[in-house]
Amino acid sequence: MNMRKIFVVGAAIAALGVAAGAAIAQTPAQKAMVDAAKAEGVVGEQADGYLGFRVPAPSADLTVAVQTINTARRQVYTESAVAAGTTTDVAGARMFESQLLPRMTTGQWYRNADGQWVRR
């Protein structure tokens, strides 16, 4: 992928704002539930741009909340990918690298590209 495409993907993702897309799809209760699960180390960001479970989900409600956010993210990544002429997978990975990972707070967990869970 050339530098122009990388820039376009990054700009498209930033313009669309994954947080805005996820915020529309999720309820305030779902956001609070996922934020708490992140703080507890149950849920973490992944290198593919989606949320994942570091340990088994403690409730069906949390599973639904994570699925809701991931569905909204997939839609945003797909739109960004189409605009940039790349794939949804590349758009998701770029979002993780440029937006999600830098925003993580100390102590939160994320799954790197090798599939390993790492504590920030």
Show me where the domains of the chain are located. 3-119
DSSP for 43-73 reads EEEETTSSEEESS--S-HHHHHHHHHHHHHH
Quickly count: other Cβ atoms within 10 Å of residue 95's Cβ: 26
Rounded CA separation 89/119 (Å): 23
pLDDT for the residue 80: 95
Per-residue pLDDT of the chain (120 residues; tens, 9 = 90+): 565 555 555 555 554 454 455 556 789 999 999 999 999 999 999 999 999 999 999 999 999 999 999 999 999 999 999 999 999 999 999 999 999 999 999 999 999 999 999 999
pLDDT for the residue 111: 98
